[in-house]
Structure 1
Amino acid sequence: MNKYFLKMQADNSNFFYMMDFTEDGRLKNVFWADARSREAFKEFGDVVTFDTTYLVNKYSMPFAPFVGVNHHGQSILLGCGLISGEDTDTFRWLFESWLTCMSGVPPSAIITDQDKAMKKAIHIVFPKARHRWCLWHILKKMPEKFKGYREYKSIKFCLKNVVYDSLTKEEFEERWGRFIYHLKSHEWLLELYNERYYWVPAFVKDTFWAGMSTAQRSESINAFFDGYVHHQTTLKEFVEQYDKALAKNVVN
């Protein structure tokens, strides 16, 4: 894998990579970005989505892409990593590597899921970036959080109305108060309310999001790699196939 990265760097000096090892020399984490990704960030790096839910490979290392959107509304890859864990230290290493790659310029805004370790690392490495949670990921949890409730369909309908139809913070507070009246003991809803600054449209609309509200941009990037990588792909195969998939996408 290291030889492959060295070859890529020899072919194009703007190819960037960093590798993180344990004390006994085992690979922990790796980050890389090609010249196209680094150039694209200069123009379209204001808003980034970051997601680690797509794929783990033969060594159970989650794939962690940074994704933006260009002036045509198309998803673009802004670098990616393979990580050994999903704790704060690992995310911090990855974010710092990405920041180094992008000449120390952080994104203005970043969209992720609700991962607490990720949230903490973003606060450390990108303290001025506006952090938003993916609304799609949140609403996807509703069947699990309300299983056993006979009124599930009604709760889902009401929650979506409160979230999407509240145009101001004050309107959200008023609608939420009515919605939560019979669900005051529901811990998940109480936690969501306490973190409303991160996910409610009325609380995040003061920031430029490049038309993005979810981390599904990352999932559309992940679709680039379908047919190229799978759960038994080795690390060396992964980076080689990654480059082939990305090159094919640029050609198309």
Structure 2
Amino acid sequence: MDLDNEGRLKNVLWVDSCSRATYQYFGDVVTFDTTYLTNRYGMLFAPFVGVNHHGKSILLGAGLISSQDTETFTWLFQIWLQCMDGIAPKSIITNQDRAMKNAIAIVFPETRHTFCLWHILKKVPEKLGSYATYKSGLKTQLMKCVYDTQTIEEFGKCWAEFISTYELQENGWLESLYAEREHWVLVFLKEHFWAGMSTTHRSESMNAFFDGYVHSKTNLKEFVEHFDSALKKKIENENQAEFQSFSGTIPCISRSPIEKKFQLLYTNTKFKEVQQQVIGVLDLDPSLLTSDGVMKSYLVEDEVRIHEYSKQVTYYVDFNVNDCSTKC
């Protein structure tokens, strides 16, 4: 607990033993969000959330804070880090809050920090919707820069072309985004592990879980009691998912030894994701381009859809008949 000079409660953080134990396994990537709930005392609910091997959101600690300044976030992060035996997450996802960014730099200097991509793109209609070209190419070109560039150089070129084509040199919002591009553009983040997350939706799904247990009129004593009840229910659901995953096996859909390996190693939830990839490969229709002795080259086309943006992907695959090796 963090008290002011008169002994009144300013901020509080609690991390139960289950969250501490879970963090040892699933603490690589953490999301942190303060947008869910403000209680009757004007304190913000601030959960630390991760994801487990069933793809489910897990609570790694939670706080109630009285303000959103650098000092408060620094206190919260430092105490949380102590609870986690001084082991900082490898990556953390937050919104674009400036004070939050400053505190992360102080407490987690080695942690890779990214902004919630969904929150950024949600502002696109508000910030750019007034332009006449918004629906006739501007939005598509922006999405292409974000999702379709494969190198940092390619992104820089694409962004410069985007700004020039639509005469956006004076747009302050886009200028600020470009200045912090390393914190949100996918090409800058692809070398890091994000556990399948690029947004704070994990925090938001955790927030939704607490609906029905706590609300803005809940007093502090009731909040702690109801929070404890919600945690017990959460642990019960996780135990049930664990039992279901290891009490039954999902059949393979191919004869691939790779799929079989994943079947043995992964939980059912994650194995289903692998099978979606397998189905995608089975649906592909490769066409032979060239044949030179033992080397055959194939053209493989696929379509990838991300949110509202769709793109065609082409792979060139070389296959060695003698040693059955491929190069893509």
TM-score norm. by structure 1 comes to 0.90
2:115 aligned with 1:133, yes or no?
Answer: yes
Please name the residue that 1:208 is paired with. 193
Q: CA deviation at 1:162?
A: 1.2
Please name the residue that 2:91 is paired with. 109
Please name the residue that 1:197 is paired with. 182
Q: How does 1:211-250 map to 2 (within 5 A)?
A: 211-250=196-235
| SS across alignment from 1:49 | strand
Distance in 1 of aligned mates of 2:90 and 2:187: 19
1:68-114 CA-to-partner distances (Å, cap 9, x unmatched) read 11112111100010000000000000000100100111111100010
Distance in 2 of aligned mates of 1:71 and 1:227: 26
Please name the residue that 2:147 is paired with. 164
2:24 aligned with 1:42, yes or no?
Answer: yes
Distance in 2 of aligned mates of 1:155 and 1:147: 9
1:113-161 CA-to-partner distances (Å, cap 9, x unmatched) read 1000000000000000000111001111122222532333343222112
Please name the residue that 2:132 is paired with. 150
Please name the residue that 2:58 is paired with. 76
Of 23, 28, 40, the match for 1:58: 40
Distance in 1 of aligned mates of 2:233 and 2:133: 48
Mapped contact 1:37–1:79 kept (Cα < 8 A) = yes
Please name the residue that 1:95 is paired with. 77
* 5+ residue gaps, structure 1: 1-18
| SS across alignment from 2:62 | strand
Distance in 2 of aligned mates of 1:32 and 1:80: 6
TM-score norm. by structure 2 comes to 0.70
| SS across alignment from 1:236 | helix
2:162 aligned with 1:179, yes or no?
Answer: yes
Q: CA deviation at 1:26?
A: 1.1
Amino acid at match of 1:216: H
The count of aligned residue pairs is 234
Please name the residue that 1:118 is paired with. 100
Amino acid at match of 1:185: E
Please name the residue that 2:8 is paired with. 26
Looking at CA atoms only, which structure, 1 or 2, has the larger radius of gyration?
A: 2
Root mean square deviation of aligned Cα: 1.1
Please name the residue that 2:258 is paired with. none
Higher strand share: 2
Mapped contact 1:224–1:246 kept (Cα < 8 A) = no
Amino acid at match of 1:135: L
| SS across alignment from 2:50 | strand
Hey, which bits of structure 1, 4+ residues long, moved more than 3 A?
none
1:48-75 CA-to-partner distances (Å, cap 9, x unmatched) read 0000011111111110000111112111
